[in-house]
Chain A
């Protein structure tokens, strides 16, 4: 019951956040230099042509009217259309958001597993070689640029060993997957086509691996540090001094306290990945959100940028809500 109240209060917070974010984006991108109209009209266009185009997109109206019109559209599920491609934003979002989410969620899940096991392992052997190997490994993954790491993986695992599929998108050619959820691997599984499902997973392999390696290091370091802190702390020492069995010691007196801080860190990383996966998307020809948003930004495609910021902001709020609930579940001192 308390959880329901907590969640509804936080969701109610979503409204002011989105209103604030949308106004700020709306105004800021129009203040930035660069005019989308000049980018789409032909070079021979006269001043009259430009004015006409501007009018066609409604960009000649006062800012307030444009904003209210935009908000009214959102309530009808209409995010407007891209200025440069004329495609409805909603269609693009429905196609691209699942692609990026699949990538990011899987990468984060794998990174979490790596970080927790690696961090606990390193902490157990602190100062000895397993610790150094784990930490240096994570550090290397963290310090290499992700696009370069991605290219190396392609070179070695696709071209060299032939284990990985070519970096040509989301799924192999020739599969006919009926679109249900937009998440290709789920849709392939739903369509009862095992070959398509495997191909979808196979294509996830390299980009997910690259992304996971890049984000593991900060989480691993955090887990290792708090595991050491907990193990050297009085509550663990006390349990140890009272002769508790190793299994109880590590499960009830070490791991849980160690993981208390992880959800917040993971949420921050998730938020960064939503827009930050763009380089990986380029390398693997992944038609995801990042590429779309970057292109929108470069061409000053106002509706694209606005929709992207709204989606990211919503995701941020939701993910932090989830992180807070997880943290409260781990730490009884935190009240939801």
Chain B
């Protein structure tokens, strides 16, 4: 049988201002109809380049050699009408960052209709009906109403479903999804991946999923292809690649996946309530006020918990559950509607703005996107010394503090003069952590500190955080939707759903004996690479 997609000897070189970049080197890849193939590797490895080659959307200055055949047609030689027909009808690409990839000035329904009409899948008369049908298929609730809505009126998950509907409307032979799970929480990730995998139909359509998140996509893929720096290092059935990886890079990727079965090691003494808590939240309510007396949105209701020095507390929940609102309230960035937030004996709710600012020296935050959180015009030294400047520390005393903070996060003094663009994602996040530590705060809030990073880098940053949390004089709050990380790092867990605490308790007891259905659902959705999980997938997938 000839494969649906056959890529052989594909090399792509891009001429840039600083010479030629060899993006892909002699890549081979095959996707059969009815098959789900996962293409994994770290960012910058050339994964998206393969997708863009298949739909012929490479930068102008690229030189392509080798062959790409889809359904027997030579893709690289297509022109004009044949090319237009191939784009969408042959291979349809689901872009990553769906919201940015939808047209903000056109209703999502019209955008689907545009595709239907482009590929003769509908007459103008029945296009609307067909679109509503597609919306139902991709699991959009209330599909008829969504037709006339604009992308900015939809949630991230809904935009992802619309993006899938757009690709399906072209009725492609090959369905390509580029990083389809970025920015989605665990439960949604599972649903979206299942939806994408379901598009593979024997004899009709193949699916190619591109992702840096091996653990997430392994569940739905028949075969996995591993790409490292533009070279294909390993290809094979999922069970074989994960169970007996032959290439060191594959082993590195697998090792980097945080394992949810791994228990937090060497907990010296489970931090217990000794003395007064650093932070005490009681009966906290946050209501976002609406204009003109309409009912506000109740983002947090009746949340209470304590945090002691030396403790690491996780706040987990799906997106929209109120995690971010809670961490903002704790940092004094949001004024609570009711309840108390007592930090080191002072109630934040009744403090004047400038007094909160004084308190904030004792509480620091590490942000989700390390690159966005750093000022591009400032050197590392300036970034890390900023908090010191704000507390009016004399300039000559700052240098040793900065170097100490950098060494605490594992950066050498040579980084002091560097700027944001000279740092990798991992190094940037280390700088972000150093900035949070330089004032020696009593509490640090880590907001999804690894979710914007590649898996291998994630593992290093988590190691760093693990070391930091061993110090017993500081309290950490980690906001996350990644349960494996939480299990490996945190003493206690608070599970939030709909703004309320669904469950809280010691990490181990919560993981082994969850008492709330919300926790159970989160645990079930968590990606894992264990053999049982994979065999589960196989059973589900065999037609």
Question: Which residues on A are within 8 Å of B, measured CB to CB?
Answer: 233-245, 248, 252-253, 256-257, 260, 330-333
Contact = CB atoms under 8 A, between A and B. Distances in A.
Contacts of B150: 332-333
Interface string B81-112: 00011111100110101001111111000110
B88 A241 contact: yes
Interchain residue pairs A-B with the least CB separation, the first 8 = A243-B88, A243-B87, A242-B88, A234-B101, A238-B101, A235-B103, A332-B150, A241-B55
A241 B87 contact: yes
Nearest to A232: B59
Nearest to B103: A235
B85 A234 contact: no
B105 A331 contact: yes
A241 B56 CA distance: 8
17 contacts: A234-B95, A234-B100, A238-B95, A238-B101, A241-B92, A242-B88, A243-B85, A243-B86, A243-B87, A243-B115, A244-B114, A245-B84, A248-B114, A252-B106, A252-B110, A257-B103, A257-B104
Given A238-B163, A244-B114, A332-B104, 12 more contacts: A234-B95, A237-B101, A240-B57, A241-B93, A242-B88, A242-B92, A242-B167, A248-B117, A252-B103, A252-B106, A252-B114, A332-B150
Nearest to B91: A241
Interface of A, secondary structure class, is helix
Which residue among A240, A242, A248, A330 has the maximum number of chain B CB atoms within 10 Å of its CB? A242
Interface of B, secondary structure class, is helix
Contacts of B419: none
Given A243-B118, A243-B170, A248-B118, A253 B103 contact: yes
B87 A235 contact: no
Contact of A242 (B97, B118, B152): B118
Contacts of B105: 256-257, 260, 330-332
Contacts of B167: 242
Contacts of B88: 241-244
B163 to A, nearest CB: 8
B10 interface: no
B95 A241 contact: yes
Nearest to A330: B105
Contacts of B194: none
B104 A242 contact: no
B166 A238 contact: yes
Contacts of A330: 105
A1 B97 CA distance: 35
Contacts of A243: 84-89, 115, 118-119, 170
Contacts of A333: 104, 150, 152
Nearest to B84: A243
Nearest to B96: A234
A161 to B, nearest CB: 44
Nearest to A333: B152
Interface in B37-74: 55, 57
Which residue among B84, B97, B110 has the maximum number of chain A CB atoms within 10 Å of its CB? B84
A336 B100 CA distance: 23
